Amino acid sequence: MKENLIGDNFGIVLNAPYSISSKEIHKYLEQFGCIVFKNWANNREDFKTLSELLSDRFITHGAKVRRSVDHESTQTVTKGPDKIILHFEMHYSPIAPDYMWFYCESAPKKGGETTLGNGKELYMSLSSSTKSVLHDKGILYKNIWAKETIEKYFPETKRSSIIEALDSLGAQAQFLDNGELQFFFRTSPFNKDSRGDWVFGNTIAIHHQYKKNLKLFQEQDQTLRHEVCFGDGTQIPDSIFTEIEELSEKFVIPYKWQRGDIILVDNHTVLHGRNSYDPKEEREILVRMGIKPSNPAHFLFEPKKLENAS
């Protein structure tokens, strides 16, 4: 077994063949933020087995640009060859996953790397004025989920149960007349890692990219479904978006995939994204989004505890 790191005290690479316990995974994840399991899986079943060492509950992402494979909670990543800026997954809602598992079935020869970023490094590099205003005001996300999206996140669940669940997690939710779900989520853009250090996950700048390139995230659907502003409802200035975008470029760490590789990312401390690639090339990266028992949203993914539609 040979180990190495992909960044400065960041991202450990474990080369197969190798057996690992959940305790060891936790230890590495806490120390290095993400783990690359090199040449680890022969098939989707190997990927599933490894991902289930840490949790037995997974979020099924509702975006139409993702396909579910095998069983609902293993999905493809956002379709298309475009670059996606570094971000935390779903931190615009109270049901963000704890673990992002990625598995490479095929990778382009050139480009298409999954990109990784250390949230602690990003926090430390933000200007003091940006840190100060974001700490002070917090941020507010406005989300509108389409009917098909809701069905994927909360299969066969009554509307009243969805509202109640989101409300208990700190979001203000309501169903609109057209059956879509609108919810507001006010939060801090910062959180702390296990050592108590501040981390920034940049869910702000991906909203900027989303607004400029709706097609990438929603194909034909032109409805603006995700918006972000300061917690007091005022607009975030362009200068802050630009600063975050530039820092994301500066600290990005690309990982060149090989078939059979798996990457595990701590979705509260490490950001992910992707580099663009030639659309003529094939890229199949699968994802599973794990929820640990201490996650406030854990109960949402235990169907018996939510009242199902009759």
Burial letters 144-167, b for 16+ CB under 10 A, else e: bbbeebbebbbeebeeebbbebbe
89 or 245: CB nearest Fe ion = 89
Residues in the chain: 310
Measured from the CB atom, the residue of 66 and 159 that comes closer to Fe ion is: 66
Min. distance of Cβ 189 from Fe ion in angstroms? 16
Q: Minimum CB separation from Fe ion for residue 17, in Å?
A: 30
Q: Which residue is nearest to Fe ion (CB)?
A: 89
Question: Least CB distance from residue 295 to Fe ion, whole Å?
Answer: 17
Q: Give whichever of 57 and 91 is closer to Fe ion, judged by the CB atom.
A: 91
Report the residue number, 35 or 306, with the smaller CB distance to Fe ion. Answer: 35
Q: Which CA distances in Å does 114 have to 51, 63, 100, 240, 303? A: 18, 19, 12, 25, 32
Based on CB atoms, which residue is closest to Fe ion, 89 or 105? 89
Within 10 Å of residue 24's Cβ, how many Cβ atoms? 14
CA distance 9 to 269: 14
Q: How far is the CB of 137 from Fe ion (least distance, A)?
A: 25
Q: How far is CA 169 from the centre of its chain?
A: 18
Q: Which is nearer to Fe ion, 157 or 267 (CB)?
A: 267
Q: Shortest Cβ distance from residue 114 to Fe ion (Å)?
A: 10
Residues that bind Fe ion (CB under 5 A): 89
d(CA 220, CA 213): 11
Of residues 98 and 306, the one with the C-beta less far from Fe ion: 98
For residue 79, the minimal CB distance to Fe ion (Å) is: 12
- Give the H or E element holding residue 214: helix 214-218
Give the CA count within 13 Å in the CB-facing half-sphere of 52.
9
Residue listed under structure tokens 């956002």 = 78
Closest distance between Fe ion and the C-beta of residue 141, in Å? 15
| Residue whose C-alpha is closest to residue 197's, from 123, 253, 130, 125 | 123
Rounded distance between C-alpha atoms, residue 98 and residue 206, angstroms? 19
Residue type, 174: Q
